Structure 1
Amino acid sequence: MAGIETSLKEAMTIEGAIGAALGDYTSGMALGTAGPTETLSVAAAATTDILRAELRALGMAGQGDQKLEDILISLTGQYHLIRPLTRHPGLFLYLMLDRSRSNLAMARHQARRIEADLEL
């Protein structure tokens, strides 16, 4: 089992990782970051709006019974992977990846493993 700091260090070992954050989408606060702290704190706050909007949209579309696994934002040079943590409702893992150096399938797999090991 791993705490926040250990989980974020593990996230930074993902191939192509630029930064990682553990955020609370009920408050908009980053509980921890690894990488460019100021950028990640802003991204974590903005991600709360994205997560809330997606969950609201799923509910309005009658798909509230579906479990949101992750959200992917693709930029020309980066992937931003947002994973709500089912074991810790209200929290999410945010990964910023260099698109040219990362393997998205592996990053998703490792994010699931980090979630499974996280203890708060």
Structure 2
Amino acid sequence: MADLEVALKDLMMLDGAIGAAVVDYNSGMPLGVLGGSKSLDLEIAAAGNTEVVRAKLRTIEQLGLNEEIEDVLITLNSQYHLVRPLHGRRSRGLFLYVALDRTRGNLALARHRLRDIEENLEI
């Protein structure tokens, strides 16, 4: 089982990783962050992605779907932003977030690693 610090380090080991966070989408506050840059403020990204997750959860509920979000991909000109809500009993209300440089990141591998990290994360 991995703790928060190990999970963030694992996220940052992805090719092209710019920044990573574990975020509480009830408050919009990150529980932990690693990386970032002048153009990627992880506190702002955490709050903004919280709104994305909340909006999608509301939409799923309004549609009456019996579904859970697996992940959310936001594709920018130069970056990929991946959000993966956690579904474990003790980690509900949290999501993993990673931003990747689009020229160096591998989207399929990143999605696979996020799933592995989610399965092993113990909060």
TM-score calculated relative to the size of structure 1 = 0.95
2:59 corresponds to 1:41: no
Map 1:29-108 onto structure 2 (within 5 A): 29-36=29-36, 39-63=41-65, 65-87=66-88, 88-108=91-111
Offset from partner CA, 1:3-28 (integer Å, 9 cap, x none): 11111001000111111000000011
Matched AA of 1:101: R
Q: Which aligned runs of 4 or more in structure 1 are off by greater than 3 angstroms?
A: none
- Give secondary structure in 1 for the equivalent of 2:45: helix
Matched AA of 2:15: E
Structure 1 residues not aligned, in runs of 5+: none
Distance in 2 separating the partners of 1:58 and 1:115: 22
Distance in 2 separating the partners of 1:41 and 1:31: 10
Distance in 2 separating the partners of 1:9 and 1:44: 17
- Count of residue pairs the alignment pairs up: 119
Percent identical across equivalent pairs?
52
- Give secondary structure in 1 for the equivalent of 2:13: coil
| RMSD between superposed Cα atoms in Å | 1.1
